[in-house]
Amino acid sequence: MRSRPGKASLWTATLAALATVTATVPAAAAAPDAPGAPGIASAWTTGAKNGVGTSTTVDSKVWHTLGQGNLNEVYYPQLDVPNVQDMQFVVSDGQGFTELERDATNHETRMADPRALEYQQVNTDKDGRYRITKTYVTDPQRSVITMRVRFEALSGGPLQLYALYNPSLAGSGMGDSGATDSGALVASDGDVASALVSSTGFDAATSGYSGTASDGYQDLADDHRLTATYDRASQPGNLVQTARIPVGTDTTFTLALGFGDDRGAARRAANASLETGFDALESDYVGGWHDYLASLNPVPESVTSRGLETQYNVAAMTLKAQEDKTHRGAFIASSSIPWGQAKNADECCTAGYHLVWARDLHHTATASLALGDEAAANRALDYLLKVQQNEDGSFPQNTWLDGEPHWTSLQMDEVALPIVLAWQLGRTDAATWTKLKKSADFIVANGPATPQERWEEEGGYSPSTIAAEIAGLVTAADIARTNGDTAAAEKYLSTADEWQRKVEEWTFTTTGPHGDGRYYERIDDDGNPNNGHELCINNGGGCHDERAIVDAGFLDLVRLGVKPADDPEILASLPEVDDRLRVETPNGPGWYRYNHDGYGETADGGPYGGQGVGRLWPLLTGERGEYELAAGRDAGKHLETMARMANEGHLIPEQVWDRSSAHGFTFGEGTGSATPLAWSMSQFIRLAHNIDAGRNLETPSVVADRYAR
């Protein structure tokens, strides 16, 4: 447990906060308006987050992410609108050195409370001169992030501490303006505003434009002093705000970063949170998460027997934290922007993972069911049917939270999986059936081929997509019967039966170049898996004979009840998948999505920019565990591997590094793509419950009874 200041010191700090928060920043040397607009080009930050946080309340519409020892993107007023590039500290001795906290310190991330999304970052200077400890909570009643900061001058000082805040409001880094106002650094872009205040007040403050002479950090780097300060930066641009915080050799204070629809509202919210005090906010914040965990099913024995309770609890809380608080049921794929440091943020609405995919939402919903949060799963289905579904029954590839499509292709598994989810939830009422029937009819009319499969790149006949389509049609038939629609039920079952018989004919090659030549392909363009047509991988992976590209998507045929685990074609395909895709990491076995995948860092570790090297996906370790369980074997090692692939904040990545540690990456640990990935966290939760049950709970019994038993 971390140590806490005594009650007397907390009371003194609170009184000091109230006395100083409204104090005006000394401005004798401040010039009125900063030059240099608009500043240099803006970007986001790495997709590798070590922590995420938000309150369990819907009143506080703010989410924070943590990475590289600092505060990263902040989402407000909903989960598809990032507003901050980062906020960190600058440390200087005023004469010999000035350095950025991100670059000059060794970073450690801790769980301040293992049963809450409360993270603590400990950043220690590489030269041993200081240590900065930051603990984060959001105000459950307001859209404010608060952090308790302890600054220790380990070498005795004196040292100077500056807050360096880089807003990127309303989803863009190039439209912000800002000023110093009533002791706060305020900024705005349209109807989104922020305000940064400190319990100590600021000794000096300035607003300027990144990379120019008015940038506070550039000023400090020049001569180790903040000599050019500006009251405001009134022209839109890449705003950066800097403030000196009075510190001694060991100083604890609170920062509050508030948001609102104008600067005044943001400032009032931040000040109100400071007035409430960090301890009171922390108690309410942590209590909300404790209550949420207490409302769930008991932690599975597969978790407790392996000492994985914290990993399990963080996975459960992270899934809840990926749900928007305005568009209920809209769970995003990840509160991250893959390789965001290489993504230009000058224009609004960069395509990160803060979008809703029906497929990812299905996985989140099934994990929520396993957790015992049936209400969340029902909200997800309501969102799918009321917001995302098109009039013809199809679903967009993905959408913004309001349902506006972003990427515009069609993935047939995303049409089918909402039907399966409705069946799992027992949603058989007439209104729901009217919606589901549209989707089932769309599958019959447009399947089994798909414009894109689950990896969002190729069209054709995909084993994983066909598995979802068959499961969707069989569950739709069951719901149709409940509603007296026997004609529809018969149509769906006859179609599903035909596709179940023909899936090998369409996707199982007998003339492949790997192993004995008999295995499921990743995808086939025309339903003839032996003609050797060319497959060009749409992420820079090159063009290849389609028979040469394998993935483990055929395991969905087992997971969804379309084939038994000992089906001959399933068994025949496992050696080729393991020979081509399996890598034994220090944390356990991992699998590539498919061979020649180009979606990942470049060969020299650089961020993906259209062509790279696909790395290992932890969720595939979980999927293999579900198959092993279906085959009657132990899946415990797969659960343990997923947990070991999580980072120190217990967040499971989209991808982990696939070879000897290099370029700043560690073999078997996360890359810069997307952490946390809701799909990965969902897979961990689901596998844990499946191990306890001795079977895959998400397998629709009505499908398995027809085909696999």
Catalytic residues: 453, 456
User: Helix crossing, 636-645 with 678-693: angle to 10°?
Assistant: 150
Q: Which residues of 205-216 are buried (b: 16+ CB within 10 A; e: fewer)?
A: bbbbbbbbebbb
688 with 302: CB under 8 angstroms?
yes
Using CB atoms within 10 A of its CB, is residue 330 exposed (0-12), middle (13-18) or buried (19+)? Answer: buried
Buried b (16+ CB within 10 A) or exposed e, 590-625: bbbbbbbbbbbbeeeeebbeeebbbbbbbbbbbbbb
Neighbouring residues of 322: CB distance < 8 A, sequence distance ≥ 6: 79, 331, 332, 333, 334, 335, 364, 678
DSSP H stretches of helix in 332-411: 358-371, 374-383
Name the H helices within 21-112: 101-104
Query: What is the spatial distance between Cα 257 and Cα 185, in angstroms, rounded to a whole number?
Result: 9
Determine how many CB atoms are found less than 10 A away from the CB of residue 421: 28
| Cα gap 63→119, rounded to integer Å | 13
CA dist., res. 101 & res. 692, Å (int): 45
E strand or H helix at 179, and its extent?
Answer: strand 176-181
Per the CB < 8 A criterion, the answer to whether 702 and 638 are in contact is: no
Q: Tokens in use for 99? A: 């350095």
Q: Are 611 and 602 in contact (CB under 8 A)?
A: yes
Q: Are 99 and 85 contacting, i.e. CB atoms less than 8 angstroms apart?
A: no
CB burial of residue 301 (10 Å; 0-12, 13-18, 19+)? exposed
CA angle, 439 as apex, 438 and 440 as ends, to 5°? 95
Backbone φ and ψ of 596, nearest 5°:
70, 20
The two three-digit tokens of residue 696, written as one number: 């895959």
